[in-house]
Amino acid sequence: MHEFELSISGMTCAACAGRVERALQKVPAVSAAGVNLASEKARVSAPGDAAPALAEAVTAAGYRVAEAEHDLALSGMSCANCAGRIEKVLRAVPGVLAAEVNLASEKARVRTLAAVDTHTLIAAVEGAGYGAQDRRAEDERSAPARQGMPWEHLELTLALLLTAPLILPMLLAPFGWHLMPPAWLQFLLATPVQFIVGARFYRGAWHALRARSGNMDVLVALGTSAAYGLSLYLWLVKDSPHLYFETAAMVIALVRLGKYLETRAKRRTGAALRALEALRPESARRLDAAGQEEEVALNRLRLGDRLQLRPGERIPADGRILQGESQVDEALLTGESRPVAKGPGDEVVGGAINGEGNLQIEVIALGGETVLAGIIRLVEDAQATKAPIQQLVDRISRVFVPVVVSLALVTLLGWLLSGHPLEPSLLAAVAVLVIACPCALGLATPAALMAGTGVAARHGILIKDAETLERAQGITTVVFDKTGTLTAGQLRLCQLATAPGIEEADLLSLAGSLQRGSEHPLAAAVLLACRERGLDTPPAQDVRALPGRGLQGRWQGRALLLGNARLLA
**Mean pLDDT for the chain overall:** 82
d(CA 215, CA 200): 13
Closest listed residue to residue 61, CA positions, set 42, 38, 46? 42
d(CA 561, CA 427): 88
CA distances from 111 to 4, 82, 106, 232 (A): 15, 20, 17, 48
**Active-site entry in 117, 346, 481, 542:** 481
Mean pLDDT over residues 511-529, rounded? 85
Residue 24 — very low, low, confident or very high, per pLDDT cuts 50/70/90? very high
Which residues have a Cβ under 8 Å from the Cβ of 409 and sit 6 or more positions away?
429
460 has pLDDT over 70: no
Mean pLDDT over residues 157-164, rounded? 90
Residue 138 — very low, low, confident or very high, per pLDDT cuts 50/70/90? very low
CB 454 within 8 A of CB 271: yes
Residue 531 — very low, low, confident or very high, per pLDDT cuts 50/70/90? very high
Higher pLDDT, 433 or 222: 222
Is 481 assigned a catalytic role? Answer: yes
Mean pLDDT over residues 200-220, rounded? 76
Per-residue pLDDT tens digits for 479-513: 877 655 666 667 889 988 888 888 889 899 999 99
The pLDDT of residue 207:
74
Per-residue pLDDT tens digits for 332-356: 666 666 788 888 999 999 888 888 7
Per-residue pLDDT tens digits for 212-261: 666 677 778 888 888 898 889 889 888 887 788 888 898 888 888 877 77
The pLDDT of residue 193:
93
Residue 320 — very low, low, confident or very high, per pLDDT cuts 50/70/90? very high
The pLDDT of residue 144:
43
CB hemisphere CA count around 146 (13 angstroms): 5
Phi, psi values for residue 285, rounded to 5°: -95, 105
Weakest mean pLDDT among 13-17, 274-278, 282-286: 274-278
Phi, psi values for residue 54, rounded to 5°: -65, -45
